[in-house]
A and B are shown apart, each in its own frame.
Chain A
Amino acid sequence: MSTENVLLKFAPEMHKNYLLHILNGKMPSYGSSLDTNRAVLMYFAVGGLDILNSLDSITDTRKKSIIDWIYSLQVINEKDLTSGFQGSTNLNTIENRGKNTLYKWAHIANTYACLSSLLMLRDNLERVDRCAIINSLKALQLPNGSFKGAIDGVESDMRFVFCAAAISHILNDWSGIDVELMVDFILNSISYDGGIGQAPELESHCGSTFCAVAALALSENLDRLTRAQFDNLRRWLLFRFDGGFNGRPNKPVDTCYSFWSGGALKILDAYDFIQQENNHQYVLMTQDRRGGFAKWINCVPDPMHSYLGLAGLSLMDFGGLNEMFCELNITKRTNEFLEEVQKTWM
């Protein structure tokens, strides 16, 4: 393995430029496979800038135009229960602007990403139809407690359980979720090894474990874990650390798990058990000379790993980065802004 491109000095300026380029520029056409989830890409870019304390590098006019673009993705459809946010404009035309047409449906991950991004941009969610979104959540929960991503045509798993919990928390309204059923689904997805899979009986995975733990925390149900479940879960997560973090036993370490595993450990109050001076080394080795972070050393950086790399470094208390509110996967200061906004709804 060549180490020529390994850059161990943290370069926040470059990451800022990389993220601004994702946000304001045009991704090359090979990014077309990400076309339906542009809202999530935006969340990674804006969220990364928030962690870097660089939101000021987006001008106020641009912030306004980003906010308007996000609201252009909002679907309000009480009849078909498809309210929320689309992930992209790829079904939108001048003609169907503001109208509910076939397949212009919200996607739960993008609803979460849009609401979070609005908060990062300090929009007070005034134009969000909170009631409609909460009502539509009801249509996404399955009899086993899990959530599907959209009203039709999309799979279901723990990722969308997290999104449902995060949306309910942000909008401060849990009436769209059968919380008991959701908790059952999470508890049923705990594996024999202590970790949590995407659904019952599936292999434990740090991504799904983070989603499950955050959903329990947001819904104030962490105490539903028995002492043994709690201890085993922490043990399983702690063993994910191997210089960097892997996502499953016997898999290679990967930048994104520095947040998925690290964030879950933070929520479970166990992060300090692996806190040591040089933990940031692996993530820094995946830093690209032109900005951004990759999954592995000497790989192409991408927005997701860039965001999660920064979030992971923030957990390590490294580089003067803004602190994370792990339960929502946003910064603490953005969560404080959310709390202010929520006060106005009382």
Chain B
Amino acid sequence: MSDCSSDENENDTILYRDRPEWKDVTPLKQDDGDEPVVAIDYTEAFEDCYDYFRAILKKKEISERALELTKTAAQLNSANYTVWQYRREILKGLGKDLNEELDYIQKVILKHSKNYQVWHHRRIIVEWLQDASKEKYLTETVLAKDAKNYHAWQHRQWVIRTFKLFDGELEYVDTLISDDVRNNSAWNQRYFVINNTTGFTDEVLDREIDYTLNHIKTVTENESAWNYLRGLLLHGKEGLSNNKKVTDFCEELYKSGNRSPFSLAVIVDMCFEQLNEGGGDSRYTPQRAKELCEELINKYDIIRANYWKHMIEMIDKTMKDENIESSN
């Protein structure tokens, strides 16, 4: 929805039809058919601006006044992708200073930070300029207000990947995770950075596992951190159930009385992995998995009880299949 804050444009109270510099243009009315559907009760200013927008689009006028008009049109509806597309044609045609455009679109983004079109415009201007030096700061400003803004993260990843700006990113992510350990976007970014820089070498894995376990220790009911831990273990040779640091941590947590469903789910999966792949760790038996599922069903994850019942069935089925296999 549009907002009502004013723009610095001093002209914006004068309708285009009353402006002398537009006298030579005949405005073009929208043809919405005889019986419109999902109509919008446009304001007079909206109709006036878009009547002139249609008129200059017809001529494909490339001029300063057309550029100014797209600003008003975008202010009235920043989601109108045609307005932005046309604006870019004008910027190109007039050879405008694109750094000024960056300043302008930054202001628009700070007002409409969940709008696809304004971010897309920014991205194209950055591509044209081949200068991404202001992008990290911009996305940080947006993320300071909403640390999970998907558009900002998408733009940031694109910039970092395209212009190789990985330096300092892990530190930034670390700050965000310290601010809010449940910030799933930050955990995702952590994975993105490592995956594109060092990769998950044994050494990095070890460091990341420590990092994650430390954060789980502070808040155990944190799906983001548990998911990240699982993601890490997928890279290791040891799978889910053979990393001593992780298994010891989970066992200790369990012994301390902690029953976070995320932690119980991981132990269930460890048992299941051992059942499927043969492990030999006596802590991770099918029987234990089934007991944990019962705990989840009856007490710790009642809303997903049917799922945990299904897990018990899967375990039984796997055991049966293995018995048949071994007796053959």
Which of B13-21, B26-34, B134-142, B287-295 makes up part of the contact surface? B26-34
Let me know if A66 is at the binding interface, CB within 8 A: yes
Let me know if A2 is at the binding interface, CB within 8 A: no
Let me know if B130 is at the binding interface, CB within 8 A: no
Is the pair A66, B184 in contact by a Cβ cutoff of 8 Å? no
Chain A, Cβ-Cβ closest to B4 = A30
Is the pair A27, B2 in contact by a Cβ cutoff of 8 Å? no
Is the pair B304, A238 in contact by a Cβ cutoff of 8 Å? yes
Inter-chain contacts of A70 with B (CB < 8 A): 37
Interface readout for A52-73 with B: 1 if CB under 8 Å, 0 if not? 0000000000100110111010
Interface-centre pick from A22, A42, A69, A91 (highest chain B CB count, 10 A): A91
Inter-chain contacts of A35 with B (CB < 8 A): 40, 42, 77, 79-80
What total of chain A residues lie within 8 Å of the partner, measured CB to CB?
74
Inter-chain contacts of B195 with A (CB < 8 A): 201
Nearest Cβ in chain A — how far from B173, in angstroms? 13
Which of B62-70, B147-155, B248-256, B319-327 makes up part of the contact surface? B147-155
Which of A95-103, A135-143, A166-174 makes up part of the contact surface? A95-103
Given contacts A28-B41, A90-B30, A251-B184, contact A193 B227 (CB under 8 A): yes
Inter-chain contacts of A203 with B (CB < 8 A): 150, 153, 184-185, 188
Is the pair B30, A89 in contact by a Cβ cutoff of 8 Å? yes
Let me know if B166 is at the binding interface, CB within 8 A: no
Chain B, Cβ-Cβ closest to A65 = B35
Contacts of B72-122 to chain A: CB distance below 8 A: 76-82, 84-86, 88, 116-117, 119-120
Given contacts A32-B2, A102-B60, contact A95 B28 (CB under 8 A): yes
| A270 CA to B314 CA, complexed, in Å | 14
Is the pair A272, B81 in contact by a Cβ cutoff of 8 Å? no
Let me know if B230 is at the binding interface, CB within 8 A: yes
Chain B, Cβ-Cβ closest to A86 = B82
Inter-chain contacts of A95 with B (CB < 8 A): 28, 58
| A203 CA to B156 CA, complexed, in Å | 12
Tally A-B pairs: CB < 8 A: 199
| A211 CA to B307 CA, complexed, in Å | 23
Given contacts A102-B60, A203-B188, contact A150 B31 (CB under 8 A): no
| A205 CA to B154 CA, complexed, in Å | 12
Is the pair A90, B80 in contact by a Cβ cutoff of 8 Å? yes
Interface size class of B (residues with CB under 8 A): 35 or more
| A187 CA to B47 CA, complexed, in Å | 45
Given contacts A91-B57, A103-B85, A153-B84, contact A26 B40 (CB under 8 A): yes
Is the pair A27, B39 in contact by a Cβ cutoff of 8 Å? yes
Is the pair A32, B224 in contact by a Cβ cutoff of 8 Å? no
Let me know if A33 is at the binding interface, CB within 8 A: yes
Is the pair A32, B30 in contact by a Cβ cutoff of 8 Å? no
Which of B32, B41, B77, B148 is within 8 Å of A36, CB to CB?
B77
Is the pair A33, B150 in contact by a Cβ cutoff of 8 Å? no
| A205 CA to B185 CA, complexed, in Å | 10
Interface readout for B214-244 with A: 1 if CB under 8 Å, 0 if not? 0000000011100110110010000000000
| A145 CA to B136 CA, complexed, in Å | 28
Inter-chain contacts of B129 with A (CB < 8 A): none
Let me know if A342 is at the binding interface, CB within 8 A: no
Chain B, Cβ-Cβ closest to A202 = B154
Which of A77-85, A242-250, A318-326, A332-340 makes up part of the contact surface? A242-250
Which of A6-14, A273-281, A309-317 makes up part of the contact surface? A273-281
Let me know if B11 is at the binding interface, CB within 8 A: no
Is the pair B184, A38 in contact by a Cβ cutoff of 8 Å? no
Given contacts A25-B39, A42-B37, A193-B231, contact A93 B306 (CB under 8 A): no
Is the pair B157, A202 in contact by a Cβ cutoff of 8 Å? yes
Nearest Cβ in chain B — how far from A123, in angstroms? 14
Let me know if B71 is at the binding interface, CB within 8 A: no
Which of B60, B116, B307 is within 8 Å of A274, CB to CB?
B307
Contacts of B190-221 to chain A: CB distance below 8 A: 191-192, 195-196
| A191 CA to B189 CA, complexed, in Å | 11
Nearest Cβ in chain B — how far from A27, in angstroms? 5
Nearest Cβ in chain A — how far from B281, in angstroms? 20
Is the pair A33, B79 in contact by a Cβ cutoff of 8 Å? yes
A-B contact pairs, 6 of them (CB 8 A): A29-B42, A32-B42, A62-B35, A65-B34, A202-B188, A250-B183
Apart from A33-B79, A103-B86, what 17 extra A-B contacts exist at CB < 8 Å? A28-B41, A31-B1, A31-B41, A32-B40, A32-B46, A35-B42, A70-B37, A94-B31, A96-B31, A102-B57, A192-B231, A193-B230, A202-B150, A204-B188, A243-B303, A273-B304, A274-B303
Enumerate chain B interface residues (CB-CB to A < 8 A). 1-2, 28-43, 46, 50, 54, 57-58, 60, 76-82, 84-86, 88, 116-117, 119-120, 123, 148, 150, 153-154, 157, 161, 182-185, 188, 191-192, 195-196, 222-224, 227-228, 230-231, 234, 265, 303-304, 306-307, 310
